Amino acid sequence: MKHDLEVDNRKLHHYLEMLRIRRFEQKVLEMFSRGVFFGTTHTYLGQEANAVGVLSHIGQDDIVFSNHRGHGHFLAYGGDMRSLFAELMGKSTGVCAGRGGSQHLHWKNFYSNGIQGGIAPVAAGIAMSEKLKKSAAVTIAFLGDGTLGEGVLYEALNMASLWQLPYSSCWRITASHRPHLLSWPSLEIYCPAFRLSIFLASSLKPAM
Ligand SMILES: Cc1ncc(C[n+]2csc(CCOP(=O)(O)OP(=O)(O)O)c2C)c(N)n1
């Protein structure tokens, strides 16, 4: 019985986290159309489960690398909504004093970068340094399927495997609305090629 309650509480917490991200991003879209923000922005609408599912299980010292669509990752990591909003507005009270904007955030062990695939080798390098320091930290990189065409990604995966780095890349696959991608080899083919293990989960069927 106690176990069931714990599981229910955890599920409720995850749901509320996803809802918080959804509401934040809806507000971002609304304010974007009013011209409130400095620069451009990409929302995390519809992808909330990926961030919450992964980041609610990380350790305190783990390092997170996000991409151009990083608000959800930042919030699920524990980032503050108000300072993120201020950052989007280019205010000095923002996460990075208004200089990073939507795509370039840094807070604690959280980093994001808008260059597609750009985080892959940097995250591998950080994972290498953590390994050399003999820390237990895992480095996590969030990537989208659009990055599968970036060559630097394969170099990073190769080195991560070769040097047995504490490196985990979390992919978000949305091939259903990009039929042209379906002919690409899937991660189930890529990962074994680099001797990397793979775990598949569906945000549409969370229990999977
Ligand atoms: C090196 C580079 N090329 C092109 C872009 C422009 N760009 C921004 S997002 C994007 C698509 C990213 O696809 P994906 O990673 O699957 O994420 P999605 O936006 O579909 O969620 C592109 C091509 C970029 N940011 N960096």
Domain extent listing, the chain = 2-193
pTM of the model: 0.93
* CATH architecture classification, 2-193: 3-Layer(aba) Sandwich (3.40)
175 contacts 145 by C-beta, under 8 angstroms? yes
Q: Is 114 in the pocket of ligand 1 (CB under 6 A)?
A: yes
Contacts for 7 with CB less than 8 Å, ≥ 6 apart:
none
Q: Inform me whether the pLDDT recorded for 184 exceeds 50.
A: yes
Distance CA 45, CA 48 (A): 7
pLDDT tens for residues 53-73?
Answer: 999 999 999 999 999 999 999
Q: Inform me whether the pLDDT recorded for 208 exceeds 50.
A: no
Distance CA 133, CA 28 (A): 39
Confidence class for position 206, pLDDT limits 50, 70, 90: low
Q: Is 121 in the pocket of ligand 1 (CB under 6 A)?
A: no
Q: Is 169 in the pocket of ligand 1 (CB under 6 A)?
A: no
Q: Is 69 in the pocket of ligand 1 (CB under 6 A)?
A: yes
pLDDT tens for residues 147-182?
Answer: 888 999 999 999 999 999 999 888 886 655 455 544
Determine the atom of ligand 1 nearest the C-alpha atom of 115: 26
104 contacts 80 by C-beta, under 8 angstroms? no
What is the token pair recorded at 26?
């809806």
